[in-house]
Structure 1
């Protein structure tokens, strides 16, 4: 949902109380029939799935950065590949860490299963090796241009930029740069200011 924060219009945010099971309420199920988050409404249009919502926002509110790279078939396809890699490879191994260390303990009071976290961290390191090989050839996932593919890695990674995931990413130099400042450069290209401190170890400044 980073495109909403960075490039989207002013929106109304509806907070959902998970403990009260509001995400399973009939009202929310109209927005997302799976009873999950996020859900997005634009007029009569109801959308679910964060990556699809992000694409919709970037297509509707076109920006000079052209993060989907529409208008160039090969570049747009490379962006799609980067997004699919995030969904099927990166998210698959980082999500048990995020949920185990943050969401489950905070939202549900479920203790962290350290073995699951450690096993997932080892899998993450192997996945990052593939990214390292790819990013050693190009500055960004799609090529020599910043795109929605790079931005899609920001949310979960930034949650742990000072913790175990960040340690793993530091061991992969190209990934350190790709994830750490993708959002900052996107903001810079649109003339915005960075409203939070960049992850430590990132030398670029976009203020």
Structure 2
């Protein structure tokens, strides 16, 4: 479960071509589509790089019995803090990054959030009340819970 440019392109294609009108993930109004698309790009270029580094250092290396690079962790945390400060401000104006409803802009954050919430980096999210509420809300969505259950089930096999 990870994010990459190809999965974002696939997500955008599927959500725009196979959505049901007035349902989640895609806004039909062009301005709202643009706002959600902007936040997908923010996730891709600002959130994902430090989040991926933190996941690799704090999750992947731990699973492999390797020692994390504390300098890489500190640098990635500093970058992530800046992004989360922007998110905190954005989330004072809307429930979700893309607007008033859950969209692919929020969806694209789920893989890294899932892993980071199990690490000490969780505190960076919890220190920001709007970001914390947003994380709790999107991570508790029934469809996401099913994905996590499938992943956990497959790990056990």
Relative contact order, higher structure (CA 8 A, sep 6+): 2
User: Deviations 1:116-163 (Å, cap 9, x if unpaired)?
Assistant: 112211221122111111111111112212111011111011112132
Task: Tell me the matched-pair count.
Answer: 147
Greater share of residues in helix: 2
The question of 1:120 aligning with 2:76 is answered yes
Find the counterpart in structure 2 of residue 140 from structure 1. Answer: 96
Find the counterpart in structure 2 of residue 177 from structure 1. Answer: 133
1:49 to 1:168, Cα distance in 2 relative to 1, 3 A: same
Counterpart secondary structure, 1:164: coil
Aligned-residue CA RMSD (Å): 2.7
1:105 to 1:166, Cα distance in 2 relative to 1, 3 A: closer
| Aligned residue runs from structure 1 range 8-47, under 5 A | none
Counterpart secondary structure, 2:140: helix
Find the counterpart in structure 2 of residue 49 from structure 1. Answer: 6
| Aligned residue runs from structure 1 range 20-169, under 5 A | 49-63=6-20, 65-69=23-27, 71-106=28-63, 110-169=66-125
2:54 touches 2:116 (CA, 8 Å); kept in 1? no
Q: CA offset at residue 104 of structure 1?
A: 4.0
- Mapped to 1, the partners of 2:24 and 2:97 lie a distance apart of 15
- Mapped to 2, the partners of 1:126 and 1:180 lie a distance apart of 20
Counterpart secondary structure, 2:112: helix
- Mapped to 2, the partners of 1:72 and 1:193 lie a distance apart of 26
- Mapped to 1, the partners of 2:128 and 2:144 lie a distance apart of 27
1:157 touches 1:165 (CA, 8 Å); kept in 2? no
